[in-house]
Amino acid sequence: MRYDSMKQLIKLAGREKSKVGEIVLAVEAEQEGESPDTIRGQMVISWEVMKQSLEKGVTDDIQSVSGLSGGDGKLFFSRIPKYIGQDISMTVARALGVAEVNAAMGRIVACPTAGSCGIVPAAMTLAQAKLNVKEENIITALFTAAGIGIICSTKASISGAEGGCQAECGVAAAMAAGALTELAGGSPTMIGHSVALCLSNMLGLVCDPVAGLVEVPCVLRNAGGLMQAILAAELALSGIKSRIPVDEVIDAMREVGEALPESLRETALGGLANTPTGNRYRKRVG
Amino acid sequence: MGKADSVFEVIGPIMIGPSSSHTAAAVRIGQISRAILGEPVNKAIIQLHGSYALTGKGHGTDKAVIAGLMGFDAADERIRSSIEIAKDEGMVIDFQKVDLGDDYHPNTIRLLIEGASKSHFEITAISVGGGNIGVIEINGLPLRLSGEYHTLISIHSDRPGIVAKATSIMAKNKVNISTMYVSRQRRGGLAAMAVEMDQPLPPEAVSELANEAQIVRLIPPIY
């Protein structure tokens, strides 16, 4: 078995009558010449590290080396939200918190990158809070997320330097959207739509890190990416379809990424990094 | 970073933040440099070039390199306090921002390190994305090694037969070669060889080679 596109992955899941995550796991095991249990065990280790970073992000007093980030996850976690529900509010806090743990030299799992590491783990906690899903289903959903990430890296990019933030937080959000859709009982086709809808909403997002650091606006964009993932999963689960097929959306992401000027691809020469305040921060921390 | 080949390239690595290229890769550059030196590091001059010089401090590149020189891996939480730990153990550390010129990759680190037995090396390495690295020079000799494989490194006088000797050792031990890189200063001058292998070689297998070369190292994969 192999897959190079969402269409192929969805088709395989349909043919084998299994979850997308199980297909991704089976392909990985075959490719690595390891048993599925061994591969699953490796993902359990990653999930354990994610859980530690999720906890740390909303309980510790975090401050990055530069002083540009830290504390927002903890602040937001204990707050009563005005417009969104408590569960989503706490999940957003966790996304902020994990990204802050990363910025402060804590231990995280890159997902797909270090700068976008908060989105997928935080989304998993929402599924636990709302649907009371089992740990083993979380692990399978992480394989679903990984399959989506692999396809995006194949057809487009998961590097901010190549494709802007849409390639990092955008892909992380698409991975989370697919995982959330699966965990709520969505079909493989719905997973495809959730990925397409999510990426469509994040297309064009630039990578403009202030002072070249993985902090501003990266921490914030983990919260934004998470919200897009939740929205896309809900839309897909309701039966709403992306009018553009998912693989064509991923192709569009590559085209948009290639069209971005270098100043908006992680060089810290444009966007928020090049604002008067952004430049003052650069001088202060350089 | 190109296409991910594995699930654990998109959910992973497990690492200390904030940046795979500026933190995790810098740890690995330190780790492989220590492995090449072959003993604990007593003294290190760390030259940061390009993007490492510009944004290295905020990314903790300095702490990351020292952590690697101490033998910590990219997921070790001691990275944050590695400089204090290294100084406590007596390591003499000097960081320098340098401009190696446009020919060098924007994420380049050059290390001048000295071991307990006064042996010393100059190692130049780059970060190629996603936490992956490449050593590109040892003692000024061009080389290519990634740290992802078991690797044989040899620095020797340029003369016929050394490469053949190395490959016959590998054949005898049923070791498969993944990549191989050889270079030299000039004909008859110093030459370098790096062979990345799918299986490890036992140390005694290279003892004969070690007699004929200035330096021979067997390095396990660092990630």
Mean pLDDT of the B143-169 span? 95
Mean pLDDT of the B153-175 span? 95
Beta-carbon separation of A149 and B4 below 8 A? yes
> Residue B21 above 90 pLDDT?
no
Ramachandran assignment for B53, one of left (phi > 0), alpha (psi -120 to 50 degrees), beta (any other): alpha
| Distance from C-alpha of B8 to C-alpha of A146, rounded to nearest angstrom | 8
> Residue A44 above 80 pLDDT?
yes
Domain segments of chain B as ranges = 1-138, 149-223
Residue A108: its H or E element? strand A107-109
Of B16, B23, B55, the CB nearest to A211: B55
Bond preceding residue A217 cis, omega within 30 of 0: yes
| Distance from C-alpha of B125 to C-alpha of B26, rounded to nearest angstrom | 9
Identify the band that residue B2 occupies on the pLDDT scale cut at 50, 70 and 90.
low
Beta-carbon separation of A46 and B55 below 8 A? no
> CB distance from B4 to chain A under 8 Å?
yes
> Residue A70 above 70 pLDDT?
yes
Residue A107: its H or E element? strand A107-109
CATH topology of domain A6-151+162-285: 2-methylcitrate dehydratase PrpD (1.10.4100)
What secondary structure, in 3-state letters, does chain B show? Answer: CCCCCCHHHHCCCEEECCCHHHHHHHHHHHHHHHHHHCCCEEEEEEEEEEHHHHHCCCCCHHHHHHHHHHCCCCCCHHHHHHHHHHHHCCCEEEEEEECCCCCCCCEEEEEEEEECCCCEEEEEEEEEECCEEEEEEECCEEEEECCCCEEEEEEEECCCCHHHHHHHHHHHCCCCEEEEEEEECCCCCEEEEEEEECCCCCHHHHHHHHHHCCEEEEECCCC
Judge if ipTM > 0.90.
Answer: yes
Whole-prediction pTM: 0.92
Q: Which homologous superfamily is B149-223 in?
A: ACT domain (3.30.70.260)
> Residue A286 above 90 pLDDT?
no
| Distance from C-alpha of A153 to C-alpha of A146, rounded to nearest angstrom | 10
Beta-carbon separation of B13 and A109 below 8 A? yes
Task: Give the CATH number of domain B1-138.
Answer: 3.30.1330.90
Mean pLDDT of the B32-52 span? 95
Predicted confidence at residue A67, as pLDDT, reads: 94
Of B1, B12, B131, the CB nearest to A158: B1
> CB distance from A134 to chain B under 8 Å?
no
Who's near B164: CB < 8 A, 6+ residues apart? none
Distances (CA, A) of B150 to A221, A254, B193, B208: 39, 35, 14, 19
Of B9, B11, B19, the CB nearest to A145: B11
Closest CA to A73 of A57, A49, A53: A57
Model pLDDT for residues A99-141, shown as the tens digit of each residue: 999 999 999 999 999 999 999 999 999 999 999 999 999 999 9
Residue A264 carries which DSSP code? Answer: G
> Residue B89 above 60 pLDDT?
yes
Beta-carbon separation of A105 and B3 below 8 A? no
Could you say which residues from 152 to 181 on chain B have a Cβ atom under 8 Å away from some Cβ of chain A? none
> Could you report how far apart the first and last alpha carbons of chain B are, in Å?
17
Beta-carbon separation of B17 and A103 below 8 A? yes
- Residues of B116-146 as b/e, b for ≥16 C-beta within 10 angstroms? eeeeebbbbbbbbbbbbbbbbbbbebebebb
Beta-carbon separation of A106 and B23 below 8 A? no
Beta-carbon separation of A65 and B60 below 8 A? yes
Of A39, A107, A120, the CB nearest to B16: A107
Contacts of A143 in chain B (CB under 8 A): 7
Of A24, A154, A159, the CB nearest to B129: A159
Mean pLDDT of the A166-189 span? 98
> CB distance from B88 to chain A under 8 Å?
no
Domain segments of chain A as ranges = 6-151+162-285
